């Protein structure tokens, strides 16, 4: 295990209290994590591990990461009248940045397993879009709660959500303690109203929940949103400084159909409508073609792709996200799960491992997409994909304290010859013991502190018959790429 | 969820004690599991689920599976002097046959993560085979212990092991409470001695550990064992009624090389040496070619293939086990992990999910390899692959009581629209709460009852520097397909 050079802010044995307190006030850090192995990035973004690390958190941010013994007597025994420091002894655990689910439809956990072993057309047209015409705010609320519970237990601290009734999802995000980038999805079939609602949502909710919620404009996809609406979205995004989050070139069929019908690939549609001139998060991109690469290259620095490889295998799509080509262009690829109605889980840890495995296979190269590369996708690249590249994605002084503690003492993760490999290929989401967002512990030793799963499941099951009824024969859209 | 017709032996509300006790003796069942949902197979091997099931175990076998309420007053309060019945209330849990790891090298967990992101040639020649020239019985013992701990926690109740120092592995298997089919691996480079030791091991250990250990002859592979030795192995297997467990046509390169050098595929070598006339477990088979299929077809009923799909992706092999072609021939495909030095875990649950995902992708068919098919591979086909098709692999009266209890109440497995999909695509090995082999609980509520992981890891770490030293420049074999 290599440890990068400590940065100036990560001086061994410089305690938070030494530097940050003005004399007499004795304000304490909010959280101190000791004796963990900390995953860090060096100046070249190479991943390393700091042994016996102490992480000090104050006001939601990481203040210091130091190595070596630390005097915790003050923390363990705060003087009367002072706020107690929360101390987590994390021996045998790895501290790493919380995972980011860069593209999901969180409330769709409600439909987990309802449409199995089907091609995507049938999945949409026979199940998901008919059922979604029954969707009520309450269904979204319960789904979002269950999704947050699942993600927190899987070490996900932030998610980029693209769905309906997003006021509800925002309220649940606030309640859950998670961080999220939220976008109200729209189709052109809704007329101008869909786009206006998406903007209204984005403006009302940006920087809410103590700053944990950021927002996007969320046109569904080039095959369901007309070029004029995409162009209007691009203008609004630039005007208001908003991210745009869209499905595009999801699979090869979509790209082929777009070419056949319009003479342009979905990526070329994004370029032609000005969306590649905005901060843009493209979901999937498994249909990205050779001719798209120079188009995408011109947008490097603004755009990112979210990859959810499990679903591509399950739908038997012929290709996956072209991670290597995107890397050569300098375009971040964040990890994602898509919704649980297709992916069956919101397990970003699994997405990390599958990204490594599927990429090796796809590129016929066992040396490609190493565990450290996978961890880079899971950390800095995912943070950048959701527009939070300066705020999260790394355990470093000044970053938001979105931290997970991963137990590597289990028989399936021992012995450790290469901790990056242990994390990517041996550990599982269930090995996350503690999840922290903005310095607040929202799962401790696998116990959820903000959500009540049995109550959510009970209420959800009462509503299920009405939700999944398809006898009305309606659907909210037609899938015809 | 569908429930198949109850079989005559699974009559609702017929308790074990009603039928099995002669008056006056009042002998009790050893274990009663109540209120679970039980995965069962109907007469056509279709998988179904029995709700509110009670499973009664006596003398290591399943005596009855019944549905509906059961009177447990006697079980809960045994009369003085009678052996107490162990009772597990498994509400919210699914009882299913324990998973079978159909091809592994259990002690190689010691090398988990030591040779990462490499082609198979380098993996063998630069790391694994040099390190294995240091291998001592004690290393094998500790590795086997850690492997059994990992497998028990992952719901694996039986494994087919193919390694060295197998007396040691047999002793650990006995100690762990697991079931195993064990084979002492050999190469032709050892001379006749290797084969003789493999036979000696197989005869000394068959049906030991109260019948939990069965044995195989274990030639390494056609590229390391000469035809004459393979032919001798086939004769010995027939003479002694032993299974043969061998790597063959592991990847396309091996098949191509075999054709180029000998004019025969590895499968044709198995046929020519008589091994296809024995009970044969073929590991991997990703290099099986079209011309091999009629050859294999003639051996249907005797042979099986073990598939470990994770490693094929990780080594970037171009193909995976041809599950669909093998199914059309009626050849069982069991699930496997291979060793943890390549697979990074012994997580058969993951092999089950990956088999479904990779097969859909490979066959370009999302309808193929449904969750129920995956569960069939995980249960009856895996049992058959290791020669225990009549003993394990199904929860049915008369079968050995190798049972796992899987918690599906977590947020990642709720709601349940299709329990087969929940198990295959949403649940994880870490959801196994209780593992039972031959009616004996060897993990209860995730606590291992037969193995001490911290002690194993401590001792292993002391031996590690000597084990992984490669300065001697030796290796036990050369990988040259």
A73 contact partners, CB below 8 Å, separation of at least 6? none
Query: In this predicted structure, what is the pLDDT of residue B479?
Result: 87
Residues of A in contact with B146 (CB under 8 A): 411, 414
Quote the ipTM score: 0.93
A114–B425 C-beta distance less than 8 A: no
Is the CATH number 3.20.20.140 carried by domain B99-393?
A: yes
Closest Cα of chain A to B144: distance in Å?
A: 11
**pTM to 2 decimals?**
0.94
Whether A314 and chain B come into contact, CB under 8 Å, resolves to yes
Query: In this predicted structure, what is the pLDDT of residue A72?
Result: 66
Tell me the pLDDT of chain B (481 aa) as tens digits.
Answer: 334 333 334 333 434 444 344 444 446 789 999 999 999 999 999 999 999 999 999 999 999 999 987 766 655 544 454 455 899 999 999 999 999 999 999 999 999 999 999 999 999 999 999 999 999 999 999 999 999 999 999 999 999 999 999 999 999 999 999 999 999 999 999 999 999 999 999 999 999 999 999 999 999 999 999 999 999 999 999 999 999 999 999 999 999 999 999 999 999 999 999 999 999 999 999 999 999 999 999 999 999 999 999 999 999 999 999 999 999 999 999 999 999 999 999 999 999 999 999 999 999 999 999 999 999 999 999 999 999 999 999 999 999 999 999 999 999 999 999 999 999 999 999 999 999 999 999 999 999 999 999 999 999 999 999 999 999 999 998 888 7
The residues facing B440 across adjacent strands are B437
A425–B113 C-beta distance less than 8 A: yes
Whether A411 and chain B come into contact, CB under 8 Å, resolves to yes
The residues facing A38 across adjacent strands are A50, A95
Q: Which homologous superfamily does the CATH classification assign to the domain defined by A99-387?
A: Metal-dependent hydrolases (3.20.20.140)
Kindly report the backbone phi and psi dihedral angles of residue A246, in degrees, each rounded to the nearest multiple of 5, phi listed first: -145, 145
Please tell me which of the candidates B146, B313, B340 has its beta carbon nearest to residue A357.
B313
Q: Exposed, middle or buried, A137 (CB in 10 Å: 0-12/13-18/19+)?
A: middle
Q: Which residue of B has its CA nearest to A116?
A: B421
B111–A417 C-beta distance less than 8 A: yes
* Residue ranges of chain A with per-residue pLDDT less than 50: 1-26, 77-79, 81-82
**Whole-angstrom distance, CA of residue A471 vs CA of residue A232:** 37
Closest residue by Cα to residue A323 from A309, A337, A311, A310: A309
Q: Give the single-character DSSP code of B208.
A: B
Closest Cα of chain B to A16: distance in Å?
A: 34
B460–A414 C-beta distance less than 8 A: yes
Query: In this predicted structure, what is the pLDDT of residue A68?
Result: 83
B412–A153 C-beta distance less than 8 A: yes
Domain boundaries, chain B: 16-91, 99-393
**Whole-angstrom distance, CA of residue A143 vs CA of residue A8:** 44
A316–B365 C-beta distance less than 8 A: yes
Residues of A in contact with B425 (CB under 8 A): 113, 116, 314, 344-345
Q: Exposed, middle or buried, A175 (CB in 10 Å: 0-12/13-18/19+)?
A: middle
Is-contact B420 B369, C-beta < 8 A? no
At the top level of CATH, the class of A16-91 is mainly beta
B316–A364 C-beta distance less than 8 A: yes
pLDDT digits (tens, 9 = 90+) for B71-125: 666 555 444 544 558 999 999 999 999 999 999 999 999 999 999 999 999 999 9
A460–B114 C-beta distance less than 8 A: no
Query: In this predicted structure, what is the pLDDT of residue B370?
Result: 98
Whether A355 and chain B come into contact, CB under 8 Å, resolves to no
Whether A422 and chain B come into contact, CB under 8 Å, resolves to yes
């Amino acid at each position: 295990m290599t440890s990068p050079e400590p940065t100036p802010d990560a001086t061994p044995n410089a305690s938070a209290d030494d530097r940050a307190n003005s004399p007499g006030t004795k304000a304490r850090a909010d959280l101190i994590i000791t004796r963990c192995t900390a995953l860090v990035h060096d100046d070249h973004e190479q991943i390393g591990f700091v042994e016996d690390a102490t992480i000090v958190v104050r006001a939601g941010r990481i203040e210091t990461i130091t190595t070596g013994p630390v005097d915790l007597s003050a923390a363990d025994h705060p003087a009367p009248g002072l706020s107690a420091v929360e101390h987590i002894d994390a021996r045998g655990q790895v501290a790493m940045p919380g995972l980011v689910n860069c593209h999901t439809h969180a409330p769709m956990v409600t439909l987990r397993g309802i449409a199995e072993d089907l091609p995507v057309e049938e999945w949409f047209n026979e199940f998901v879009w008919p059922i979604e015409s029954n969707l009520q705010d309450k269904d979204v609320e319960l789904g979002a709660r269950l999704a947050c519970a699942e993600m927190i237990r899987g070490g996900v601290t932030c998610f980029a959500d693209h769905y309906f009734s997003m006021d509800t999802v925002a309220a649940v995000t606030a309640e859950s303690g998670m961080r999220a980038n939220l976008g109200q999805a729209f189709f052109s079939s809704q007329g101008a109203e869909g786009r206006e609602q998406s903007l209204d949502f984005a403006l009302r909710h940006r920087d809410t929940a103590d700053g944990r919620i950021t927002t996007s404009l969320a046109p569904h996809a080039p095959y369901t949103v007309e070029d004029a609406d995409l162009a209007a979205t691009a203008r609004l995004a630039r005007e208001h400084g908003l991210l745009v989050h869209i499905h595009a070139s999801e699979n090869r069929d979509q790209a082929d159909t777009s070419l056949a019908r319009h003479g342009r690939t979905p990526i070329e549609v994004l370029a032609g409508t000005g969306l590649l001139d905005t901060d843009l998060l493209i979901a999937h991109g498994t249909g990205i073609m050779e001719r798209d690469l120079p188009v995408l290259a011109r947008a490097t620095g603004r755009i990112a792709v979210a990859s959810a490889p499990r679903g591509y295998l399950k739908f038997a799509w012929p290709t996956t996200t072209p991670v290597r080509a995107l890397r050569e262009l300098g375009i971040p690829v964040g990890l994602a799960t898509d919704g649980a109605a297709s992916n069956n889980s919101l397990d970003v840890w699994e997405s990390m491992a599958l990204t490594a495995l599927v990429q090796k296979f796809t590129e016929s190269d066992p040396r490609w997409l190493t565990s450290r590369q996978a961890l880079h996708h899971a950390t800095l690249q995912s943070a950048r994909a959701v527009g939070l590249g300066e705020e999260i994605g790394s355990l470093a002084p000044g970053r938001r304290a979105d931290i997970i503690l991963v137990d590597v003492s289990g028989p399936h993760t021992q012995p450790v010859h290469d901790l990056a490999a242990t994390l990517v290929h041996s550990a599982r989401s269930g090995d996350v013991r503690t999840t922290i967002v903005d310095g607040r512990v929202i799962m401790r030793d696998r116990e959820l502190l903000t959500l009540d799963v049995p109550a959510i499941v009970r209420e959800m099951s009462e509503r299920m018959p009405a939700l999944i009824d398809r006898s009305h024969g309606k659907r909210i859209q037609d899938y015809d790429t």
